[in-house]
């Protein structure tokens, strides 16, 4: 039996049992007490240290629980074999390193197509609902709740989707989730593995990358050309489309094409169309384009939508409408997943929709975005470097083809040097680069106006103009000087 000497005066104000526990633990870990050695009995150690026996018992209990020692009935406590293993490897020295958060990017004008207006968020309404909900001390709201999302919220979403997007669905067809990517990942668990998916190119990069991450083979067709012919040529399992407003090109899929795809999907059991209706709320001319799902009579469309664009990106609430067969799969395979959306957020959103405040907010935002859209169009009309504008009348960005010999990358880089963030359409391409036609050599820029005021829009367009025209005059000058 070993003898144990512990300095119970040092080590600050820690409880006595803790000092005993730590001392013995360190002796074992450092190999000073060897495996198989017998510890003194609790009675003996208590007497030697002049502490109560229960203090030593507490220390031994902890050593037992963590596996430093083991008890043998009627024989006492013995040291386990841990020291040698303990000395394996080297401690990772990065643990104590000081970190700083990433500095935020700072742009004079940010034409990001993903940006949304935040200044007009309905703070007061949101605060009021929030306060009322928390006022109740409702225990119900603390429990995990329904994995699909609360029934009442799904019911409110079903009502909105039916009225605004013509979607045929009941609350039980909807799954509420923390963002489209999460829902796409969830969807992949309802389908056989290793699906192939066809999508338009350029397309929505997040969808492309999510499909790659779940092990899908992603094939592309030129944006605007998706239809029966391409479907039959590539023969995918799934087709991912944004029929009401393709991102980033901004085209609307004509009804004929939609019905062709629906027919194609109906010809085999496991074919589905994934309709991402991401910014369908914002259309500034005529009526909303009905969803593809509204034409679905055979359970072939998976419909995805989000509140990121219509309320706020930080809300993290999206929804997926599943056809009956996939909903069956969800119930049997994924019904055990807890929801990914906090119950209080669900409750706030439900109230916001059911009291009509969501619709009022949408109408207000539609007006604000229409104003920015029209103003940007007006500014672009004045510019001689603009060859062509497309993707207008909907969404939160438009496309501008620029008349310049600069490449897209050069325009974006030079604009960034002037404090303007702008992206070119090639950044939304996936897969191997394609040979560009003469026409396609002109840069196509995405100008998102979601969060820009008129002054910023004007300044941004001017600065891009300076980049393009500055280059022209520089080149002209250069060519004049060196004939």
Residues 95-154 close enough to bind its own copies by CB under 8 A: 95, 97, 99, 101-102, 114, 118-119, 121, 123, 126-127, 130-131, 134-135, 137, 139, 141-146, 151-152
State which residue, 81 or 229, has the beta carbon closest to its own copies.
81
90 binds its own copies (CB under 8 A): yes
Q: Is 426 in the site for its own copies (CB under 8 A)?
A: no
CA-to-CA distance for 411 and 60, rounded, in angstroms?
71
- Grouping H, G, I as helix, E, B as strand and the rest as coil, residue 149 is coil
Among 195, 201, 345, 423, binds its own copies (CB under 8 A): 345
Residue ranges in 269-288 that form contacts with its own copies under rule CB under 8 A = 285-287
| Count of positions on this chain that bind its own copies (CB under 8 A) | 109
In whole angstroms, the minimum distance from the beta carbon of 150 to its own copies comes to 9
Position 44 contacts its own copies (CB under 8 A):
no
**289: how many CB neighbours lie within 10 A of its CB?**
18
Q: Does 439 bind its own copies (CB under 8 A)?
A: no
Out of 336, 435, 438, 478, the residue judged to bind its own copies by CB under 8 A:
336
Determine the Cα–Cα distance for residues 334 and 323; give it in Å rounded to an integer. 15
When the beta carbons of 46 and 262 are compared against its own copies, the nearer one is: 262
Nearer to its own copies by Cβ, of 173 and 379: the residue is: 173
Where do runs of H (alpha helix) occur along 14-109?
16-29, 42-49, 53-66, 83-86
Nearer to its own copies, 340 or 404 (CB): 340
146-150-155 Cα angle (round to 5)? 135
| Span from 330-338, 381-389, 403-411, 429-437 in contact with its own copies (CB under 8 A) | 330-338
Q: Which residues pair with 201 in a beta bridge?
A: 222
334 binds its own copies (CB under 8 A): yes
Contacts 24+ apart (CB under 8 A), 365-372: 365/117, 365/120, 365/281, 365/282, 365/310, 366/281, 366/282, 366/284, 368/117, 368/120, 369/117, 369/282, 369/284, 369/396, 369/449, 369/450, 370/284, 372/449, 372/450, 372/452, 372/453, 372/454, 372/457
Task: Decide if residue 342 touches its own copies (CB under 8 A).
Answer: yes
Q: Where in 282-321 is the site for its own copies (CB under 8 A)?
A: 285-287, 289-290, 295-299, 308, 312-317
CA dist 397 and 247 (Å) reads 10
**CA separation for the pair 337, 445 (Å, rounded):** 41
In the complex, what is the shortest distance from the CB of residue 458 to its own copies, in angstroms, rounded to a whole number?
Answer: 22
Under the binding rule (CB under 8 A), the answer on residue 378 touching its own copies is: no
């Amino acid at each position: 039996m070993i003898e144990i000497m512990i300095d119970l005066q040092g080590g600050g104000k820690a409880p006595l049992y803790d000092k005993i526990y730590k001392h013995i633990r360190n002796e074992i870990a450092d190999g000073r007490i060897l495996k198989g050695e017998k510890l003194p009995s609790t009675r003996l150690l208590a007497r030697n240290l002049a502490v109560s026996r229960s203090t030593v018992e507490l220390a031994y209990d902890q050593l037992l629980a963590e596996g430093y020692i083991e008890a043998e009935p009627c024989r006492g406590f013995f040291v386990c074999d841990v020291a040698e293993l303990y000395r394996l490897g080297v401690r990772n020295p990065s643990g104590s390193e000081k970190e700083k958060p990433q500095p935020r990017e700072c742009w004079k004008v940010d034409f990001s197509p993903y940006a949304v207006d935040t200044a007009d968020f309905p703070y007061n309404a949101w605060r009021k609902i929030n306060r009322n909900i928390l006022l109740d001390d409702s225990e119900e709201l603390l429990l995990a709740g329904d994995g699909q999302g609360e029934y009442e919220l799904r019911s409110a979403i079903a009502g909105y989707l039916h009225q605004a997007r013509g979607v045929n669905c009941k609350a039980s067809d909807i799954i509420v989730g923390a963002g489209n990517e999460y829902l796409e990942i969830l969807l992949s668990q309802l389908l056989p593995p290793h699906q192939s998916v066809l999508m338009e190119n350029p397309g929505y990069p997040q969808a492309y990358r999510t499909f790659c991450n779940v092990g899908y083979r992603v094939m592309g067709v030129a944006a605007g050309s998706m239809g029966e012919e391409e479907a039959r040529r590539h023969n995918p399992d799934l087709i991912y489309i944004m029929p009401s407003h393709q991102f980033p090109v901004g085209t609307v899929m004509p009804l004929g094409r939609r019905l062709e795809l629906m027919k194609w999907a109906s010809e085999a059991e496991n074919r589905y169309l994934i309709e991402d209706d991401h910014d369908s709320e914002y259309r500034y001319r005529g009526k909303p384009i009905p969803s593809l799902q509204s034409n679905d009579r055979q359970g072939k469309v998976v419909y995805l939508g989000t509140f990121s664009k219509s309320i706020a990106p930080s809300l993290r609430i999206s929804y997926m409408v599943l056809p009956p067969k996939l909903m069956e799969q969800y119930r049997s395979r994924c019904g055990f997943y807890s929801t990914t959306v906090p119950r209080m957020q669900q409750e706030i959103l439900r109230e916001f929709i059911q009291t009509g405040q969501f619709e009022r907010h949408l109408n207000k935002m539609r007006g604000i975005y229409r104003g920015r859209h029209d103003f940007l169009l007006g500014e672009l009309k004045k510019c001689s470097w603009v060859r062509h504008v497309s993707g207008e009348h909907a969404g939160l960005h438009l496309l501008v083809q620029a008349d310049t010999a600069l490449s897209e990358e050069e325009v974006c880089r030079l604009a960034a040097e002037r404090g303007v963030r702008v992206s070119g359409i090639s950044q939304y391409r996936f897969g191997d680069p394609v040979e560009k036609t003469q026409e396609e050599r002109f840069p196509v820029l995405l100008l998102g106006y979601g969060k820009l005021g008129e002054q910023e829009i004007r300044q941004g367009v001017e600065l891009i103009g300076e980049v393009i025209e500055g280059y022209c005059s520089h080149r002209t000058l250069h060519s004049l000087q060196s004939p």
